[in-house]
């Protein structure tokens, strides 16, 4: 499969620079796979497409304020982007400018936080050991900025707008953006209708959003992310499946988590670890019956995933229609239900 099959032109003005307020007033494009139909709705209309007994699966991961600014001992300012925790005090990071920083040199972020360069990895990432007193999470919350994608140029005034209302725990460096449309009130109405909420965890990494760089997508090396599917979620979903109810994944991260946690017979099992699952083409979905998702970047593994689920022809038509109707794209953009 050629990467150009997943390319498209998007007018720059359709890249959302800020979140809609209230959250659930974003647009919703509803795709019916069997009937090949499209409907234009608001996100709060999602409840009309959910049935009693359905299971709505949320990725409860929390985004950390992963962008820090510090100085070398000679005063040169460095930007540090936390990528992945290795142990209690050690992180893999992106540093810039980093070329002249030597092993053992220090970066000073504040009086309460500094770091030492331990390693330069083959891919150019760095490994830092942080020194601090007290709680690293509390210090990070004070000093760090939310890691907005590079296509968002507007400053984020409220950190919570790049966080789902149901975020619970974790160390994501990007938001599971399909979940940004839900309000607490909408979730309550959904539960009152008899829809069951289940949770999974996947710490979203930067690799999720990066365009594929190879011509043949089969040559793409997928990034890995930490995930967990709790036993309680497995029981809820397997019971729903047994009674012919649907499993509706909120976001591609929930899809990848669920589809990573199946046994050889395709049954969902409780598990945790790291997943590098790559969903594209004629992939046979084992758990997920419907997906709530945003509009994704060209050439990304995310658009490949939704094309595998919805059918490439329908997804191509939906993206074309979304552009015609001036839907807002990417992290703070509008949404789509595919069922």
Structure tokens at 309: 């689920």
**Is 80 exceeded by the pLDDT of residue 208?**
no
**Is 90 exceeded by the pLDDT of residue 8?**
yes
pLDDT tens-place string over residues 117-131: 999 998 889 999 999
User: Given pLDDT bands bounded at 50, 70 and 90, which one contains residue 99?
Assistant: confident
Residue 138 to residues 161, 163, 165, 228, 294, Cα–Cα distance (Å) = 19, 17, 20, 24, 31
Query: Can the peptide bond before residue 192 be classed as cis, meaning omega within 30 degrees of 0?
Result: no
Residues in Cβ contact with 133 at an 8 Å cutoff, skipping those fewer than 6 apart: 112
Helix (H) or strand (E) holding 148: none
**Is 90 exceeded by the pLDDT of residue 323?**
yes
Helix (H) or strand (E) holding 138: helix 136-143
User: Given pLDDT bands bounded at 50, 70 and 90, which one contains residue 223?
Assistant: confident
Structure tokens at 21: 């307020």
Rg, the chain, Cα only: 21
Percentage, residues of the chain above pLDDT 90: 92
Instruction: Give the domains, in start order, of the chain with CATH numbers.
Output: 3-63+158-338 (3.40.1780.10), 67-143 (2.40.10.240)
Mean pLDDT of 233-238: 98
Task: Provide the pLDDT for residue 155.
Answer: 87
**Is 90 exceeded by the pLDDT of residue 266?**
no
Exposure pattern of 172-210 as b/e (b: 16+ CB <10 Å)?
bbbbbbbbbbbeeebbeebeeeebbbbbbbbbbbbbbbe
Q: DSSP states of 209-244 as a string? A: GSBP-SSBGGG-----EEEEE-HHHHHHHHHHHHTT
For 124, other C-beta atoms within 10 Å of its C-beta total 11
pTM for this prediction: 0.94
Task: Provide the pLDDT for residue 123.
Answer: 85
**Mean pLDDT lowest for which of 7-11, 133-137, 255-259?**
133-137
Q: What is the mean pLDDT of the chain?
A: 96
């Amino acid at each position: 499969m050629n990467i150009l099959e997943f390319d498209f032109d998007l007018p720059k003005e359709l890249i959302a620079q800020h979140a809609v307020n209230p959250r659930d007033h974003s647009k919703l494009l509803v795709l019916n796979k069997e009937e090949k139909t499209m409907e234009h709705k608001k996100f709060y209309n999602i409840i009309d497409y959910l049935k009693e007994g359905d299971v709505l699966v949320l990725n409860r991961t929390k985004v950390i304020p992963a962008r820090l600014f510090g100085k070398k001992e000679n005063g040169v300012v460095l930007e540090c982007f936390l990528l992945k925790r290795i142990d209690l005090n050690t992180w893999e990071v992106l540093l810039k400018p980093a070329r002249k920083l030597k092993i053992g040199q220090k970066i000073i972020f504040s009086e309460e936080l500094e770091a030492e360069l331990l390693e330069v990895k083959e891919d150019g990432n760095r490994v830092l050991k942080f020194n601090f007193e007290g709680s690293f999470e509390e210090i990070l919350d004070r000093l760090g900025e939310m890691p907005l994608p590079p296509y968002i140029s507007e400053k984020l005034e409220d950190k919570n707008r790049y966080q789902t209302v149901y975020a619970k725990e974790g160390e994501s460096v990007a938001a599971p953006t399909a979940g940004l449309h839900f309000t607490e009130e909408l979730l309550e109405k959904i539960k009152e209708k008899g829809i069951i909420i289940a949770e999974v965890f996947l710490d979203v990494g930067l690799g999720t959003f990066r365009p594929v760089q190879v011509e043949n997508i089969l040559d793409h090396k997928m990034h890995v992310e930490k995930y967990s599917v709790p036993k309680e979620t497995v029981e809820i979903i397997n019971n729903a499946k047994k009674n012919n109810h649907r499993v509706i994944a909120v976001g591609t991260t929930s899809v990848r988590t669920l589809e990573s946690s199946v046994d050889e017979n395709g049954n969902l099992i409780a598990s945790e670890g790291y997943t590098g699952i790559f969903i594209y083409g004629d992939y046979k979905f084992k758990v997920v019956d419907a997906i709530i998702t945003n509009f994704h970047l060209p050439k990304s593994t995310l658009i490949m995933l939704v094309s595998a689920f919805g059918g490439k022809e329908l997804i191509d038509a939906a993206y074309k229609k979304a552009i015609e109707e001036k839907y807002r794209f990417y992290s703070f953009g509008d949404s789509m239900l595919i069922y």
